[in-house]
Amino acid sequence: MPTLKNAINRYKDDFKQKVPEHIQQTMLDATDRLRTKNISQQALKIGDHIPTFTLLNATNQPIHLDEHLQKNNYIVLNFYRGSWCPYCNLELKQLQRIQGELRVLHAELLALSPEKPDNSLNLKEKENLKFEVLCDKNNAVARKFGLVYTIDEELLPVYEDFGIDILESNKNGTFDLPLPATYVVNKNFEIIYTFVDEDHTNRCEPESILHAIKEDIKNNH
């Protein structure tokens, strides 16, 4: 079975062929500087309890976390940077692949990004995503999880050259983004699994999510 890591490595190989080395180095240096801030070490961890929230989905309908936890035994929260991020798109497509298995495990996936709902709707339709894609305006929820950072200034001209407009995408006047992160929480709002990384090219394998839920079921039933 193809893994998310394999898909990301293929994209990286293509990226290295097409993008000048000095730009690649600028991006790597920015990631190194972000790592020194240890944001991932300060974010919510296994055993912590998450706050409830209500966010708008891609069609501007309110989604209440507590209602969805009443209907499911587990909620998977995937924080992604935006539809402009190729690594996020690869990850979301792989997460779509496990939707059937999540339902069997009485689990539901919710994806969150600071993008405005119009962009989320375009992404949902383009990738034919069957799970809710939520607008975390101003990174309000991501901030409570301890995931928010500001894009390195040296990356701004690089993103501009790539045609990426963060300000237009998020409509909040900042260059703040969430670290890519995945959380699995149980009915008690308790985190049973987490994946957080400062390197935006590292992502959680969908199979790791399924394994965490199966292990929790095995240990608690």
Could you tell me the CATH number of the domain that includes residue 166?
3.40.30.10
- Would residue 194 count as lying in a domain? yes
- Rg of the chain, C-alpha, whole Å: 17
- Would residue 65 count as lying in a domain? yes
- Would residue 211 count as lying in a domain? yes
CA dist 17 → 10, 14, 86, 95 (Å): 11, 5, 16, 27
Q: Which two tokens stand for residue 158?
A: 């690089």
Q: Quick one: DSSP state of residue 155?
A: G
Phi/psi for 144 (5° steps) reads: -70, -25
Q: Which two tokens stand for residue 217?
A: 């079921």
- Would residue 6 count as lying in a domain? no
Rounded Cα distance, 3 and 159, in Å: 27
Amino acid at 158: V
Rounded Cα distance, 139 and 32, in Å: 23
- Would residue 15 count as lying in a domain? no
- Would residue 17 count as lying in a domain? no
Q: What is the pLDDT of residues 15-24, one digit of tens each?
A: 999 999 999 9
Phi/psi for 166 (5° steps) reads: -65, -40
Name the residue range of residue 131's domain.
22-220
What's the structural domain count of the chain? 1
Amino acid at 122: N
- Would residue 130 count as lying in a domain? yes
Rounded Cα distance, 173 and 169, in Å: 10
- Would residue 9 count as lying in a domain? no
Which residue shows structure tokens 């501007």?
60
Q: What is the pLDDT of residues 78-111, one digit of tens each?
A: 999 999 999 999 999 999 999 999 999 999 999 9
Q: Classify the phi-psi angles of 82: left when phi > 0, otherwise alpha if psi is within -120 to 50, otherwise beta.
A: left
Average pLDDT over residues 130-137: 94
Model confidence, pTM: 0.95
Q: What is the pLDDT of residues 143-188, one digit of tens each?
A: 999 999 999 999 999 999 999 999 998 888 899 999 999 999 999 9
Q: Which two tokens stand for residue 213?
A: 């839920």
Please state the length of the chain.
221
